Structure 1
Amino acid sequence: MQNDETDLKLIALLSENARLPVADLSRRLGIARTTVQARIDRLLARGAIAGFTLRKGPGLRAPVRATALLSIEPRAAAAVVARLKTLPQVETVHTTSGRFDLIVTLGADTTEDLDERLDDIRDAQGVKSSESLIHLSTKIDRAG
């Protein structure tokens, strides 16, 4: 079943603030509270909404952030990902197509800490090469 326009508006509102009360959602969407709750339940059951989570604000986010693009040895993905899981500064790891095999986002409190973590990633067994990109400023952040 596809999401209709109301579902998409509901998802957008919840993306901005997942803690909005159903009554507020109802008022903003112009539909009954029971309808809003039924739609949320249906979206959860279908997997359109995977869950509700906390988005870190500027006071909790690491002040220095980077993306590391990794090329890895054949059949080394599981070991490299296992190593990345041990580094608390690693926030996300994505597989990708193209020149790089993994995209890693990470944050640290200082440039020195970030440099050490990037060295840890580069030195991990199975990593052939890496390229690091330091985040300077955020222009759009829809994910938090």
Structure 2
Amino acid sequence: MDDLDRKLLSALAADSSTPTSQLARQAGVARSTVQARIERLKHSGVIAGYTIRLGETAERRRIRATVLLHIEPRSTAPLVQRLKTMPQVESCHSTTGRMDLVLQLVAESTGELDEALDRIGAIPGVRDTESLIHLSCKFDRRT
């Protein structure tokens, strides 16, 4: 990856709907160069896809939680497969320490979140859970 690739990735990360012609003007290169670079970045796996980022108004209506899981030995793979089927589970990370997995959940209501937490606790292999409900965001470097 060179400076042009990094500029394109930065611009697309800020707004993935930026037209190719605008990216080319910003980078000072031909539109065809930008198209070729983006295709190369896709094929090499650097760009895995495009998504939207919800605005503050939509995000404020959602309830977020971090859930820590302590699980049975050798139950990670089937447990993770079950978690993947739950739309409320945004991410799942293995970790060190007394807990084995860290989940990020999002729900439209406390009832939906409560139901998701009950379903997680009932998955075979889950020994213990600890839920941390997010109250407010002080800052987020991803935005």
Aligned residue type for 1:5: D
- Give CA deviations for 1:54-104 in whole Å, capped at 9, x if unaligned: 334446556111111112111111221232233222222222333322221
Map of 2:88 onto structure 1: 89
- Give CA deviations for 1:20-48 in whole Å, capped at 9, x if unaligned: 11100011112211111121112112111
| Runs of 5+ unmatched residues, structure 2 | none
Map of 1:31 onto structure 2: 29
- Give CA deviations for 1:95-140 in whole Å, capped at 9, x if unaligned: 2333322221111122232122112212321011222111122311
Cα separation, partners in 2 of 1:78 and 1:66, compared to 1, 3 Å = same
Q: Which runs of 4+ in 1 moved over 6 A?
A: none
Aligned residue type for 1:34: S
Cα separation, partners in 2 of 1:141 and 1:119, compared to 1, 3 Å = farther
Q: Partners in 2 of 1:71 and 1:17 — Cα distance? A: 38
Quick check: 39-48 or 109-118, which moved more? 109-118
Map of 2:106 onto structure 1: 107
Map of 1:13 onto structure 2: 11
Aligned residue type for 2:27: L
Q: C-alpha displacement at 1:141, in angstroms?
A: 5.0
Match of 1:51 among 44, 49, 52: 49
Quick check: 24-33 or 84-93, which moved more? 84-93
| Runs of 5+ unmatched residues, structure 1 | none
SS of equivalent to 1:28: helix
Map of 2:140 onto structure 1: 140
The two structures have a TM-score, normalised by structure 1, of: 0.84
Quick check: 49-58 or 126-135, which moved more? 49-58
C-alpha RMSD over aligned residues: 2.0
Share of identical aligned residues, percent?
50
